[in-house]
């Protein structure tokens, strides 16, 4: 059966794109830059296609290199939309009192809030099973709030057990006090969450019926799917028009950022990434407010499986589109800007206080009253991308990071779906930084072996990969730009992001180097044979 493949083509997709830039100063004193990306790198395919000539001046391209980049364009990449250039980022003067290396990314706080926490509060999970067990543990332990945002909730036994855990936690909270202080907010995508007779909605309705005052289920509906388009496009295919794609799971002051959906595949044998931020009330508050804001402009699930908008809110596909988008943008930007203001004040208090030891702040949340937070050495910047609303922060920051990469820098990119825009490909080929790109082998692509059109998707991604690597070869950049594939029997690969190392959960032993004979045919039918995949020792280091 055809699976939802086309949503991954960003030319028609809406993603609420969240990314985190984390810089951790290790005991060695060296900084590590990591962008932990809870959404598809493919979602970045809505980024600015910067003309090759604009890079030529900055990077001092050789004429032949420039001509090659200008003329060799992937036909598949024509799917990416042509966008207007983003507003240039204005960098603020560096903070001389901040920890070593932190000032390098402080320009990002001109756009989004900056959160400083201790690296001791950051944990990278290693497996789908660990992610699933942590979800259950956190649900049972939550006392005040649970916020779960995902593309959809599956309908299998593992997903049903999660719902039972939610029900048990709510019941326990009621019995303890007579009236529950626990609030549960769930945000899903409308089209994906409504697919089929048994779906995310039917899984959650029992919670709404039993705990109507404590549970809220919001279903985001893209404003681009409306009118005849909405009536004519069948189920599954309608998901190509736009999706809510954020994945964040928070429980009181603990936050899990991931690319994993709430589905059995992501709990068993689909390798993704999962970052736990413990005892982080400011970050938890921000994501709570963000999900609430998106929930306010979404359809609200009712106990009888109907949906309705909040009173006074413009409808996403029945109301005026421009008015709806303006309201949604204003609502989301209010959250971002208010958090920015709070964090700037906290930053000033942390690093510019007059008293000795002012860099230690009172601990909030679950810690005992009067205890102190350790000095922050990890910096988190949540990046948001909602292009239909005119919010394009993620692509702006990503492009700047790639453009300003230094000669001795090393950038790691991971993606389950290799479909970078020509703009990002040009940046990779035009800068002097080293790139290590990890992608899914055809065998671990979720569409491998599928029937119909979906079965051709792995070959299509290999074709795009081959075209890109051909350019690498023609420019003789094989040592600077290296590709590797994740290959593990019985598993699929879903990890996307920009990281300095492969987390242990990605499994070094399942990574293989990719070598390409540039003289071979680039035809789609034989694209897989054009790649010489060898089980050589991986170049990624733990």
Question: What are the pLDDT digits (tens) for 375-385?
Answer: 888 889 999 99
Fold of 106-350: Endonuclease; Chain A (3.30.870)
Res 159 pLDDT > 50: yes
Q: What spatial distance separates the first Cα and last Cα of the chain, rounded to whole Å?
A: 39
**In this predicted structure, which of 17-26, 240-249, 336-345, 523-532 has the lowest mean pLDDT?**
523-532
Report the distance separating Cα 248 and Cα 261, nearest Å: 9
The superfamily in CATH containing domain 405-525 is Endonuclease Chain A (3.30.870.10)
CA gyration radius, the chain = 23
Per-residue pLDDT at 77: 31
Work out the mean pLDDT of the chain and round it to a whole number: 76
* Residue 332 burial (C-beta neighbours within 10 Å; 0-12, 13-18, 19+): buried
Task: Tell how strand 274-277 and strand 254-258 pair up.
Answer: antiparallel
From 150-164, 241-255, 408-422, the region with the lowest mean pLDDT? 408-422
What pLDDT shows up at residue 420? 83
Residue range 119-141: mean pLDDT, rounded:
96
Contacts of 382 (CB under 8 A, 6+ apart): 18, 19, 20, 112, 113, 115, 286, 287, 290
Give the alpha-carbon dihedral of 515, 518, 522, 527, to 10 degrees. Answer: -20
- Tokens 């936690």 appear where? 169
Segment 485-517, tens digit of pLDDT: 998 888 998 888 765 333 444 445 566 566 544
Nearest to 290 by CA among 185, 207, 370: 185
Q: Given this model, what pLDDT does residue 389 score?
A: 96
Q: How far apart are alpha carbons 107 and 87 in whole angstroms?
A: 14
Which residues belong to the active site? 245, 247, 252
Instruction: Assign 432 a pLDDT band (cuts: 50, 70, 90).
Output: confident
Are the folds of 106-350 and 405-525 the same?
yes
pLDDT at 208: 97
pLDDT tens readout for residues 309-318:
999 999 999 9
What does the domain layout of the chain look like in residue ranges? 106-350, 405-525
- Of 457, 439, 438, which Cα lies nearest the Cα of 501? 438
pLDDT at residue number 512: 57
Angle 227-230-235 from CA coordinates, rounded to 5°: 175
Give the list of residues 6+ apart from residue 36 with CB closer than 8 angstroms, or none.
19, 20, 22, 257, 273, 275, 497, 499
What 3 state SS string does 469-513 have? HHHHHHCCCCCCEEEEEECCCCCEECCCEEECCCCHHHCHHHEEE
Largest CA distance in the chain: 75
What local confidence, expressed as pLDDT, does residue 149 receive? 98
117 — phi, psi (to 5°)? -135, 170
């Amino acid at each position: 059966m055809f699976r939802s493949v086309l949503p991954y083509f960003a030319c028609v997709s809406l993603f609420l794109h969240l990314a985190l830039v984390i810089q951790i100063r290790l005991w060695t004193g060296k900084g590590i830059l990591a962008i932990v990306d809870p959404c598809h790198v493919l979602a970045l395919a809505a980024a600015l296609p910067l003309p090759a000539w604009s890079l030529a001046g900055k990077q001092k391209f050789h004429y032949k290199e420039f001509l090659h980049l200008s003329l060799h364009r992937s036909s598949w990449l024509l799917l990416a939309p042509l966008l207007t250039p983003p507003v240039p980022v204005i960098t603020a003067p560096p903070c001389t009192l901040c920890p070593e290396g932190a000032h390098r990314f402080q320009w990002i706080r001109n756009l989004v809030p900056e959160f400083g926490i201790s690296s001791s509060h950051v944990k990278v999970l290693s497996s789908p099973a660990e992610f699933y067990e942590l979800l259950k543990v956190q649900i049972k332990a939550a006392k005040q709030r649970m916020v779960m945002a995902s593309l959809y909730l599956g309908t299998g036994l593992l997903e049903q057990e999660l719902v039972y855990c939610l029900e048990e936690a709510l019941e326990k909270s009621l019995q303890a006090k007579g009236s529950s202080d626990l609030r549960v907010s769930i945000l899903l995508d409308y089209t994906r969450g409504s697919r089929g007779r048994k779906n995310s909605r039917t899984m959650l309705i029992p919670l709404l019926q039993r705990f109507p005052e404590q549970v809220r289920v919001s279903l985001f509906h893209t404003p681009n799917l409306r009118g005849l388009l909405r009536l004519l496009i069948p189920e599954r295919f309608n998901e190509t028009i736009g999706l809510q794609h954020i994945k964040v799971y928070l429980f009181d002051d603990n936050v899990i950022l991931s690319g994993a959906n709430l589905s059995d595949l992501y709990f068993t044998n689909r390798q993704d990434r999962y970052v736990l931020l413990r005892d982080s009330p400011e970050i938890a508050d921000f994501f709570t407010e963000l999900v609430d804001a998106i929930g306010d402009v979404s359809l609200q699930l009712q106990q009888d499986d109907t949906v309705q908008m909040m009173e006074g809110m413009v409808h996403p596909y029945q109301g005026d589109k421009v008015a709806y988008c303006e309201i949604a943008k204003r609502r989301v930007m209010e959250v971002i800007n208010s958090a920015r203001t709070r964090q700037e004040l906290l930053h000033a208090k942390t690093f510019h206080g007059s008293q000795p030891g002012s860099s230690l702040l009172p601990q909030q949340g679950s810690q005992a009253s009067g205890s102190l937070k350790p000095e922050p050495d990890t910096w988190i910047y949540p990046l948001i991308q909602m292009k239909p609303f005119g919010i394009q922060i993620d692509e702006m920051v990503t492009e700047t990071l790639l453009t300003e990469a230094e000669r001795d820098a090393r950038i790691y990119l991971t993606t389950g779906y290799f479909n970078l825009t020509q703009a990002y490909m040009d940046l990779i080929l035009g800068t002097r930084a080293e790139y290590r790109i990890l992608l899914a082998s055809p065998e671990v692509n979720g569409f491998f072996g599928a029937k119909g059109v979906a079965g051709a998707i792995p070959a299509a991604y290999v074709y795009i990969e081959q075209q890109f690597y051909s350019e690498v070869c023609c420019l003789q950049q094989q040592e600077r730009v290296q590709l590797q594939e994740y290959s593990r029997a019985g598993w699929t690969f879903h990890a996307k992001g920009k990281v300095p190392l492969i987390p242990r959960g990605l499994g070094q032993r399942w990574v293989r180097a990719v070598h390409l004979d540039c003289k071979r045919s680039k035809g789609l039918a034989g694209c897989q044979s054009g790649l010489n995949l060898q089980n050589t020792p991986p170049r990624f280091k733990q």
